[in-house]
Structure 1
Amino acid sequence: MTVEHVTTPLLRVENLGLRHVSGSATTPILSDVSFELGRGEILGIIGESGAGKSTVGNAILGLLSPEFQQTSGTIEFDGKAIDGMTADERETLRGRRISAIFQDHTASLDPLMSVGAQVEETCLALDSSLSRREARARAIDLLARVGIPEPEQRYRNYPHQFSGGQRQRVVIAIALAGSPDIIIADEPTSALDATVQKQVLELLKILVDETGVSIILVTHDMGVISEITNRVLVMRKGQVVEADRTTAILDQPGHDYTKKLLAAVPRLRIPTGIDSGQAGSSAIDGDQNPLLVAEGLSKQFAPQGFAWGIGRSKPKFGLRDVGIRLARGSITGIVGESGSGKTTFGRLLAGLDTAPTGRITIGEHAFDVSRSGRRSGLLGRVQMIFQDPSVSLNPRMTIGETLDESIRFGARTGSSKEPADLAAMMDRLGLPRILLGRHPHQLSGGQKQRVCIARALLARPEIIVADEPTSALDVSVQAEIV
């Protein structure tokens, strides 16, 4: 299915077919995928986990592993077939004229190098005519362009000293280092909160207007699609099921699968009597006999600037006198922008961090928050589902080994008299049992997060802290998990 353009497209993918070969087994991955990308256009590719969205982007970039074989079709960039280029030609094309922004900004940045050095090294790699001073000046300019405050000072900072939104901005700066014609952005905002997500999307639109770059935006988020794209491809099981202008897709979807995706988008409900200006309390109330009570939790973080000679400053509060009362069997939501303390609060409740003041009580047992959860006995009573499944799963363990370990942990703590049923949990979360023998890198982002949910449940905790548990899932799976 191809949408026609009046002008010659910058990129044309026609009848692309791919298969994955492993031993004697052959699995079709893409079938008859066709589309075009115009200059200065933002094209969205949407679909559920495993639809083939990221595979299309990797095929264009030439990043597919040898197990993937092209069975049909062509990929043309600026009138020349990419799939017919030599390895050196593709290497020259990648980064300079076609670059990428990947989903996991944490994995995209080297934790041992300052962000400025990483942008500078990319500039030098893509333009050998630059001097070190010129590359540094360009790196600072790129950091400023993507909205990093005080880029000359932040140049020396390391990735861990930036928020998630700022790290993604650095990744975008690296993608711009070669002044590319096309950027392939694979889930660039999935790990960001709503306000930062909006800022990054606005940044991408500004970059299109200022530089004329074209963007292929791979996402499972219909909200992102509606916010930024000109046209949309809807993919399912390796095929394009619908392609049209964004407004047409959103207003009058033609395919049942597209209608299903749109129907799964959550709608905001504001209860009667609540308005956007109403202030909240620092303590969230449960029932008269709550399962969990946390009171007066406060935590400060030491400043990062002194090590770089910026000057000594006062410690910053991550939490200040925060509490919660949680009823048994209830679900309480904690919402706020990046840096507001949500994750810090959750880690304290799970016994993964300590605080100098405050108290946590579960049932009749009080826990000393100034001691580690392992020493205080809190660890295991509360399980945590982390935001980033790629980081929270051990890459050396198979999925089966990871989940078996969780079952043994639950049995050791005596949290339940009933044995955990691994097979039933896999079925309940929509995970094929064949995944038990695989490692995390062999799973999609959505599958990895469902494994993390299974791991938390199989430990049989009394309380689960879910830190952005659906951020890596497509909208239909989000609805199922919620």
Structure 2
Amino acid sequence: MQQLHNSDPLLIVEKLTLKASGSSTSKTILRDVGIDLRRGEILGLIGESGAGKSSLGYAVLGLLAPGIERSAGSIVFDGEHIEAMTEQSRAGIRGRRIAAIFQDHGASLDPLMTVGAQIAETVRAVGTKVSRRQARQRAIELMARVGIPQPEARYGHHPHQFSGGQRQRLVIAIALAGSPQIIVADEPTSALDATVQKQVLALLRSLVDETGVSIMLVTHDMGVIADITDRVVVMRQGRVVEQGETASILDAPADPYTRTLLAAVPRLRLSMSPALDGSMACAEPPYEAVLRVHNVSKTFAGHSLSWFTSGHRRPALSDVTISLQRCAITGVVGESGSGKSTLGRIIAGLETASDGILDLMGQRFDIGQSGRRSGLLGEIQMIFQDPSASLNPRMSVSDTLHEAVRFGARGGTNDRLSVLTMMDRLGLARSLLAHFPHQLSGGQKQRVCIARALLTRPAIIVADEPTSALDVSVQAEIVTLLKETVAEQHVSMLFISHDLALVQALCQSIYVLKDGVVEDQGDPGFIFSRSQNPYTRSLIEARPARFTH
């Protein structure tokens, strides 16, 4: 590793204060923030939602949202005050000398353009007098540099023909197009499974070591911080509460808030006591399986390379059989493209299967034909990964929850009382009923989604990555809430996640999927302590060692 980060700072943020002006009030987003980024280092920014991490990153990029203005302080890049530059000069820096990697690779790539054309377009935009042939060649080189196999052959492919991890690599290639000195990476791995995340982090580390680029990494994932960063800045409510070398912060945090964040990180236990080995969520004897899914197969008919190997179509799911017990949480884990979400969507009735049978409490449904599944309405509900996309932006919290009560009513239900009781149970202030989704935090929105699912009084809840977009403290609260919900309402839950520590903490049985097939299964004690399946072991070994014991 090059020790470039011992040199003078490349970026200095001095007493930066940002304010958002509303119709009648002004809200402080950042207050007196001071940090520096050295050449050839990775600086991590951590903190809860609303801490100001992303706002600081966007301020460095010069991409502040409308209504947010700098009221004090300065940003000095390579000896120049950015605020003193003309707009043309600032635009000349952005993309060329300071680049960005955003969290949502899907939104960062144009679905109608080939990936090669998008990279080449960026190369020409940030370069001077670059011909189309030169831009194409540079794009192919960048695709190879970030680990895209057969880059010349895949130059003409579209984003949907790449896996999630590959799409994030392509976003990194676009960021590298201008040979930047700084990359601002905002949650670049939060939606990736552990093995792909490890690959992307290794790529970023190698880029820093080989090219000397500096990275400002915004994340809520402490494992990412432990794996890749040289120094850490801890933020809370727009202020810097602590900063220093990564090892020092993680081993001996000085601020109570940092200690609270670290305490909330789920730890993966590789040795489990019998008391923790697959115990039921309820303090009752195990019930018979409430749901059985028999020999489910699914093959998509499109031309996505995610489902093709060497020109031959590969099924998303192949003869998958699982069962869910009442009053228990069943986990499904696996890499991106393993079929986890497809399985969950088939169970929830949002996808049809190519083949298979679903048995719900003795009643059989042909899940190959959606029109014959009306008996499932109200019995199975889904909690999605992105609460913002799951809520109707034009409906208030009150309207959303009352609609759920009416949908799941079994007669004699008091709508208002049911909603108020659920708000209290989930720790949501009743005043939020009048709010709309954009007025809620990420944790509040996810609680509303959970409330909506529960108010329909389902027999089964399918939770697809419900905590991956949340910071660790809110994530811990949601995990506790899900466990209490299953115990109190005696429902079954299918919990889909790429976070093994969360699955271990929540689930009584676990299925490991690989390439659409059940590769391994068992209780947590077996999966994490005794299974010798090579694929299961590879998933466990991809977990950051600092948070594994």
Q: TM-score, normalised by structure 1?
A: 0.88
Q: Does 1:467 align with 2:464?
A: yes
| Aligned ranges 1:391-470 → 2 under 5 Å | 391-395=389-393, 397=395, 400-411=398-409, 414=410, 417=413, 419=415, 421-431=418-428, 440=437, 443-470=440-467
Residue range with higher mean Cα deviation, 382-391 or 110-119: 382-391
Match of 1:157 in 2: 157
Is the CA contact 1:415–1:461 (under 8 Å) kept in the aligned structure 2? Answer: no
Letter aligned with residue 298 of structure 1? S
Is the CA contact 1:303–1:313 (under 8 Å) kept in the aligned structure 2? Answer: no
Distance 1:14 1:301, change over 3 A: same
Q: Which runs of 5+ in 2 are unaligned?
A: 275-284, 480-549
CA deviation after TM superposition for structure 1 residue 439, in Å: 5.4
CA deviation after TM superposition for structure 1 residue 260, in Å: 0.6
Q: Which runs of 5+ in 1 are unaligned?
A: 275-285
Match of 2:17 in 1: 17
Q: Which residue among 461, 472, 476 is the counterpart of 1:479?
A: 476
CA deviation after TM superposition for structure 1 residue 441, in Å: 5.3
- For residue 291 of structure 1, give the secondary structure of its aligned residue in structure 2: strand
Distance 1:127 1:397, change over 3 A: farther
CA deviation after TM superposition for structure 1 residue 99, in Å: 0.9
CA deviation after TM superposition for structure 1 residue 374, in Å: 7.3
Distance 1:326 1:15, change over 3 A: same
CA distance in 1, matches of 2:130, 2:413: 67
CA deviation after TM superposition for structure 1 residue 29, in Å: 1.4
Task: Deviation per CA, 1:245-279: give whole Å up to 9, x if none.
Answer: 000001111111111111111111245599xxxxx
Letter aligned with residue 291 of structure 1? V
CA deviation after TM superposition for structure 1 residue 416, in Å: 9.5
Is the CA contact 2:17–2:73 (under 8 Å) kept in the aligned structure 1? Answer: yes
Distance 1:120 1:449, change over 3 A: farther
- For residue 96 of structure 1, give the secondary structure of its aligned residue in structure 2: coil
Is the CA contact 1:352–1:379 (under 8 Å) kept in the aligned structure 2? Answer: no
Match of 1:182 in 2: 182
CA deviation after TM superposition for structure 1 residue 304, in Å: 2.4
- For residue 294 of structure 2, give the secondary structure of its aligned residue in structure 1: strand
| Aligned ranges 1:115-154 → 2 under 5 Å | 115-154=115-154
Letter aligned with residue 461 of structure 2? I
Letter aligned with residue 329 of structure 2? I
Is the CA contact 1:13–1:35 (under 8 Å) kept in the aligned structure 2? Answer: yes
- For residue 338 of structure 1, give the secondary structure of its aligned residue in structure 2: coil
Question: How many residue pairs are counted as aligned between the two chains?
Answer: 462
Match of 2:241 in 1: 241
Distance 1:340 1:214, change over 3 A: same
Is the CA contact 1:191–1:387 (under 8 Å) kept in the aligned structure 2? Answer: no
Task: Deviation per CA, 1:182-223: give whole Å up to 9, x if none.
Answer: 001011000011111111100100111121110000011111
Is the CA contact 2:383–2:453 (under 8 Å) kept in the aligned structure 1? Answer: yes
Q: Identity of paired residues, percent?
A: 63
CA distance in 1, matches of 2:441, 2:351: 30
Task: Deviation per CA, 1:403-454: give whole Å up to 9, x if none.
Answer: 444444334xx49956474455445445556665665556554444444333
- For residue 376 of structure 2, give the secondary structure of its aligned residue in structure 1: coil
Distance 1:188 1:311, change over 3 A: closer
Match of 1:195 in 2: 195
Is the CA contact 2:231–2:243 (under 8 Å) kept in the aligned structure 1? Answer: yes
Match of 1:28 in 2: 28
Distance 1:342 1:215, change over 3 A: same
CA distance in 1, matches of 2:412, 2:355: 31
Cα RMSD between the aligned structures? 2.6
Distance 1:237 1:206, change over 3 A: same
Task: Deviation per CA, 1:343-387: give whole Å up to 9, x if none.
Answer: 111111111111132111111322110111675433442112222
Is the CA contact 2:358–2:367 (under 8 Å) kept in the aligned structure 1? Answer: yes
Task: Deviation per CA, 1:2-24: give whole Å up to 9, x if none.
Answer: xxx86321000011111111011
Is the CA contact 2:287–2:326 (under 8 Å) kept in the aligned structure 1? Answer: no
CA distance in 2, matches of 1:357, 1:427: 42
Match of 1:91 in 2: 91
Is the CA contact 1:142–1:177 (under 8 Å) kept in the aligned structure 2? Answer: yes
Match of 2:259 in 1: 259
Distance 1:42 1:374, change over 3 A: farther
Residue range with higher mean Cα deviation, 429-438 or 229-238: 429-438
Match of 2:513 in 1: none
Residue range with higher mean Cα deviation, 59-68 or 229-238: 59-68
- For residue 118 of structure 1, give the secondary structure of its aligned residue in structure 2: helix
Match of 2:299 in 1: 300
- For residue 10 of structure 1, give the secondary structure of its aligned residue in structure 2: strand
Is the CA contact 1:100–1:185 (under 8 Å) kept in the aligned structure 2? Answer: yes
CA distance in 2, matches of 1:108, 1:393: 22
Q: Which residue among 362, 365, 377 is the counterpart of 1:364?
A: 362
Name the structure, 1 or 2, with higher relative contact order (CA <8 Å, separation 6+). Answer: 2
Match of 1:348 in 2: 346
CA distance in 1, matches of 2:309, 2:149: 17
Match of 2:50 in 1: 50
Match of 1:333 in 2: 331
CA deviation after TM superposition for structure 1 residue 65, in Å: 2.2
